């Protein structure tokens, strides 16, 4: 199961206290109390593994270790170790109190999200000409505490969308080395699948239906994964006798979710062309073209038609020079 959203609480470590100490042999040599170590910080780091949010499903509270108190002989207490939490690239870290968002977009990228508290100074640091035996020290400061929502927005170049059973997963499997589950029944795909065509990442999004926006079917929560794609491949099964209606159904759900989605570059892909005779196919394309703006690109494909699959692959490649992932 792909966990793409998690709420967690994190607390950075507290700084250790400074201490009061004096040279034991000769009191007159003065103060020697060291500084407390800094508390550990909480740091997020980007990784390729899209399942990296799964660990937050059960464990919700994360504490970085505290710094230790200062030591005698002017020694500082050891600092608390930073707590490193790995999250998939494409994770938005949302601060639930300040509403501020930060994003992890690259593998290895680090974001210091909660800084550990500073250790307090020991009495060694308070010595002066007037006071050669100070008993003053500072307490360590608390680490930052945050409530966060982590939200994964897959970084795919291309999103495959459409009604259930339009053939999205079958296509993903043909175009990439993915092994997405394919089934005759609706809603075979319950979570987005990813596949790579060279450096181009394709996301197969679970089927949408009319009313998905209100939670019908699997709802629209997976649409967040195509917010960053530049191109959508809208799959329409040629089994249907009303392609235009099917097309509009999906477009409306996209628009209700985010009007920006329907401004994305779109390729209309008529799937399962092997099920129709040539004249039937042409009739359906003609009908659809009448309703669409002329500029709209329509392509037909079947998973049993190698030529069409190759053409689709080359169109995707040629249209995606600017979409190639930086981190790949
Ligand atoms: N004849 C024919 N059948 C196809 C083709 N592509 C997919 N199918 C069949 O259509 C059915 C649905 O395919 P899927 O790939 O699971 O469809 P999907 O769009 O991923 O469906 P959901 O995950 O439920 O949204 C399966 O029985 C496939 O074998 C095709 O090109 N030709
Ligand atoms: Mg599917």
25-50 pLDDT, tens digit each: 765 668 999 999 999 999 999 988 88
Task: For ligand 1, atom 32, name the residue with the nearest CA.
Answer: 272
Residue 210 DSSP one-character state: T
Question: 328: pLDDT confidence band, cut at 50, 70 and 90?
Answer: very low
Q: What is the pLDDT of residue 98?
A: 96
The residue with greater pLDDT, 47 or 16, is 16
Which residue has tokens 């079958």? 170
Pocket test for ligand 1, best of 182, 185, 253 (most atoms within 8 A of CB): 182
Q: Which residues pair with 158 in a beta bridge?
A: 202, 231
Cα–Cα nearest to 201, from 156, 171, 265: 156
Q: How far apart are CA 221 and CA 256, in angstroms?
A: 12
Q: What percent of the chain has pLDDT over 70?
A: 95
Q: What is the pLDDT of residue 230?
A: 84
At how many degrees (to 10) do helices 243-257 and 278-291 cross?
40
> 259 C-alpha to center of ligand 2: Å?
24
Cα–Cα nearest to 266, from 289, 244, 298, 294: 298
Length of the chain: 328
Q: How far apart are CA 154 and CA 79, in angstroms?
A: 36
> 93 C-alpha to center of ligand 2: Å?
29
Quote the pTM value: 0.70
Q: What is the pLDDT of residue 195?
A: 85
**Range list of H helices, 53-211:** 168-175
> 182 C-alpha to center of ligand 2: Å?
6
Burial letters 277-293, b for 16+ CB under 10 A, else e: eeeebeebbeebeeeee
Ligand 1 contact, 305 CB (< 6 A)? no
- Taking the CA of 301 as reference, the closest ligand is 1
48-86 pLDDT, tens digit each: 888 899 999 999 999 999 999 999 999 999 999 999 999
Ligand 1 contact, 292 CB (< 6 A)? no
Q: What is the mean pLDDT of residues 105-118?
A: 95
Ligand 1 contact, 167 CB (< 6 A)? yes
Ligand 1 contact, 134 CB (< 6 A)? no
Q: Is the four-CA dihedral 148, 226, 217, 52 of positive or negative sign?
A: negative
Ligand 1 contact, 190 CB (< 6 A)? no
The DSSP string of 207-231 is: P--TTGGGT-TT-SGGGGGGTT-SE
Pocket test for ligand 1, best of 162, 163, 165 (most atoms within 8 A of CB): 165
Q: How far apart are CA 289 and CA 115, in angstroms?
A: 57
Residue 295 has pLDDT above 80, yes or no: no
- Taking the CA of 250 as reference, the closest ligand is 1
Ligand 1 contact, 165 CB (< 6 A)? yes
């Amino acid at each position: 199961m792909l966990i793409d959203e998690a709420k967690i609480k994190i607390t950075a470590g507290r700084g250790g206290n400074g201490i009061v100490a004096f040279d034991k042999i000769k009191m007159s040599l003065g103060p020697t109390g060291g500084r407390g170590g800094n508390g550990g910080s909480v740091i997020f780091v980007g990784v390729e593994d899209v399942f990296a949010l799964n660990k937050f499903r059960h464990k919700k509270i994360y504490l970085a270790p505290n710094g230790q108190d200062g030591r005698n002989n002017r020694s500082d207490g050891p600092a608390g170790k930073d707590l490193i939490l790995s999250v998939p690239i494409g994770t938005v870290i949302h601060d639930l109190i300040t509403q501020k968002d930060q994003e992890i977009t690259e593998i290895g990228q680090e974001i210091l999200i909660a800084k550990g508290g500073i250790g307090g100074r020991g009495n060694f640091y308070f010595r002066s000409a007037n006071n050669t035996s100070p008993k003053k020290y500072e307490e360590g400061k608390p680490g930052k505490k945050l409530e966060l929502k982590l939200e994964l927005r897959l970084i795919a170049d291309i999103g495959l969308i459409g009604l259930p059973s339009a053939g999205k997963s079958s296509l993903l499997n043909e175009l990439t080395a993915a092994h997405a589950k394919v089934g005759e029944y609706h809603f075979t795909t319950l979570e987005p699948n990813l596949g790579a065509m060279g450096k181009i990442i394709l996301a197969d999004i679970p089927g949408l239906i009319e009313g998905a926006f209100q939670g019908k079917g699997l709802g629209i929560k997976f649409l967040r994964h195509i917010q960053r794609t530049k191109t959508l491949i809208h799959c329409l099964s040629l089994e249907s006798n009303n392609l235009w209606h099917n097309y509009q159904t999906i477009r409306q759900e996209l628009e209700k979710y985010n009007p920006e989605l329907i401004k994305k570059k779109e390729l209309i892909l008529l799937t399962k062309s092997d099920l129709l005779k040539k004249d039937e196919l042409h009739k359906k394309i003609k009908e659809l073209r009448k309703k669409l703006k002329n500029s709209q690109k329509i392509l037909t494909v079947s998973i049993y038609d190698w030529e069409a699959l190759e053409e689709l692959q080359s169109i995707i490649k040629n249209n995606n020079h600017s979409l190639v992932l930086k981190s790949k």
